[in-house]
Structure 1
Amino acid sequence: MDERRPEQAIKGRGAVGNPTGRFEAYEREATWDGWWLDPEELEERPATSVLPDASRSILARNDSPDVPFERSINPYRGCEHGCVYCFARPSHAYLGLSPGLDFETRLFAKHQAPQLLREALRKRGYKPSTLALGANTDPYQPVERKLEITRGLLQVLAEANHPVSIITKSALVLRDLDILAPMAREGLVRVCLSITTLDGTLARILEPRAAQPKRRLEALRRLTEAGVPVAVLAAPMIPAINDMEMEAILEAGAEAGADRASWILLRLPRELGPLFKQWLEAHFPQRKAKVLNLLRDTRGGALYDARFGSRMRGEGPYAFLLARRFSLALRRLGLDKRSWDLDISRFKAPGPEGQMTLF
């Protein structure tokens, strides 16, 4: 039971509450009248735990026409960055956990991911296409600094000359420049850095444990200097929260060396809608109605529309305006010059794990 005051922000965490997942037989509701709690208890921060994930496969397949990849790898379930808007939060319900605080405090690590990837790439008939690394949860979230699962995956991909597109909002990606730079010279890698805002204060509220915007821009610059192609993702755009920053984000990305860009309108599938409403009540109560009304204007009156073709960008006048602003900025800044395609012609199946290189 979460005994905190409803809609009370928790320092260092994104979600305000910990609602029961949609598959549970019973629903818990937090209540608070304060008389039995020590004031110090209200300041206690929920700790992060990391458990092993027992998945026996590592490649996830995608059939959505809205994204430019067919396969993806996610080294972790849950994400400590705590982005309140993360569309992957509802997936924690499949584990019997909450998409709220559980998603950012109860993590699962796929320790066998590099071995599973090696086995998948060695299967007869495997045909390479660009893998998306971190399509759901960030492959460079804080726990990666110690576990190095993402680094192990990149080592396998580099050995196999397999193309990969990395999606992250962490400066930790710079740790692996020794792998990424050689891959980039062969046309095998690109990094997509998500920059939601240039305002450090807003970033701490939106993404409490992710790298600050300045650090992401510096990471973008250093990747570019090392020859790694980088795209800037102005995502998600949240009405009346960060949408006014779209052009500034793209300009900062282009100045740092990005050669491509993309954007996504805020998505609120399943439990994410109520979570986002709680977050607005805690941090932006005066703007709550405006934010939600603008979102409903892009989803036919609902907070979310799961249809392919509209779920990423929305519809209606407000969505059209965002798309038009992005298109004009893209051309003005030259962020539409480089192809998203990577080289699949160099692929070779990796050797068995532990095999020594033959000279």
Structure 2
Amino acid sequence: MHYKKVKGILSSSNGMNLYRGCLHGCIYCDSRSDCYHMNHLFEDIEVKENALELLDASLKKKRKPCMIGMGAMTDPYIPLEDQLLYTRGALEIIDRNGFGVTLITKSSRVLRDLDVLKSIQTHSKCVIQMTLTTYDEDLCKILEPNVSTTKERFETLLTLYKEGIPTIVWLTPILPFINDNEENLRGILDYCIKAHVKGIICFDMGVTLREGN
């Protein structure tokens, strides 16, 4: 882990990543690709030291309501979040400034911040997006070794539904000859039905296979 001060935190589409790099170890990870110009080892997490200060300043200047996005490149709930609390801090800033939020994660750690998510939902919109790829738990632990298993993520989705937080599932990637069978897809879709997810996103078959991936 290392810290870096950055000049800005929100993209033009109101997305942000508080961290760069990851320890989940997913074998299909696209964020490792050279096209993202990461100049440090992927497992050496870069923490954007002044991110929360920049976020607060940016939201105070915004005139129109919007949703702030997190997790497009790095999961907001990597293990370091347990100590650093950057994601929770960002959610509290978003809540305090009256904005909505959506985030993508593979971690049941999101339930730690359920109180803030529910608070955001009272004045704006809060949507949690959860990746589900592999119904078989043993295979899941091979493809995504250092993260909540698919069953744990399903149970997280179920809790979020019961607490009034809408959810979306990313059914991606579907890997040819690995998790592209009917049993796998039906198992995940059954989880989606039981968890009352609001939608499913799927980007066809396969992975990018970009340089560095």
- Matching residue of 2:191: 252
Task: Tell me by how many angstroms 1:267 deviates.
Answer: 3.2
Say whether 1:112 aligns with 2:50.
Answer: yes
In structure 1, the gaps of 5 or more residues are 1-49, 62-69, 276-359
- Matching residue of 2:25: 82
Question: Which runs of structure 2 are paired with 1:32-181 in the superposition (5 Å)?
Answer: 50-61=1-12, 70-90=13-33, 94-97=37-40, 102-103=41-42, 105-123=43-61, 126-181=63-118
Q: Which deviations, in whole Å up to 9, do the C-alpha atoms of 1:71-117 show, x marking residues without a partner?
A: 211111001111121221125872434xxxx31x2111123221110
Task: Tell me by how many angstroms 1:164 deviates.
Answer: 1.1
8 Å Cα contact 2:18-2:86 kept in structure 1 = yes
Aligned residue for 1:82, secondary structure, equals: coil
Aligned residue for 1:116, secondary structure, equals: helix
Q: Which deviations, in whole Å up to 9, do the C-alpha atoms of 1:157-207 show, x marking residues without a partner?
A: 001111111110000000000101122233420001111111121112111
In structure 2, the gaps of 5 or more residues are none
8 Å Cα contact 1:236-1:263 kept in structure 2 = yes
Task: Tell me by how many angstroms 1:269 deviates.
Answer: 4.9
Structure-2 change in CA distance of 1:164 and 1:93 (3 Å): closer
Task: Tell me by how many angstroms 1:254 deviates.
Answer: 1.7
- Structure-2-length-normalised TM-score: 0.91
- Matching residue of 2:145: 208
Aligned length: 210
Task: Tell me by how many angstroms 1:55 deviates.
Answer: 1.4
Task: Tell me by how many angstroms 1:225 deviates.
Answer: 0.8
8 Å Cα contact 1:75-1:110 kept in structure 2 = yes
Question: Whose relative contact order is higher, 1 or 2, with alpha carbons under 8 Å and at least 6 apart?
Answer: 2
Q: Distance in 2 between matches of 1:91 and 1:163?
A: 32
Q: CA RMSD in A?
A: 1.8
Q: Distance in 1 between matches of 2:156 and 2:6?
A: 32
- Structure-1-length-normalised TM-score: 0.55
Q: Distance in 2 between matches of 1:110 and 1:92?
A: 20
Say whether 1:264 aligns with 2:185.
Answer: no
8 Å Cα contact 1:184-1:229 kept in structure 2 = no
Aligned residue for 2:45, secondary structure, equals: strand
- Matching residue of 1:6: none
Aligned residue for 2:37, secondary structure, equals: helix
Aligned residue for 1:209, secondary structure, equals: coil
- Matching residue of 1:185: 122
Q: Distance in 1 between matches of 2:188 and 2:195?
A: 11
Task: Tell which structure's C-alpha radius of gyration is larger.
Answer: 1
Q: Distance in 1 between matches of 2:17 and 2:60?
A: 19
Aligned residue for 1:122, secondary structure, equals: helix
Q: Distance in 2 between matches of 1:252 and 1:159?
A: 33
Q: Distance in 1 between matches of 2:144 and 2:60?
A: 38
Q: Distance in 2 between matches of 1:96 and 1:77?
A: 10
Aligned residue for 1:165, secondary structure, equals: strand
Task: Tell me by how many angstroms 1:126 deviates.
Answer: 4.6
8 Å Cα contact 2:35-2:211 kept in structure 1 = no
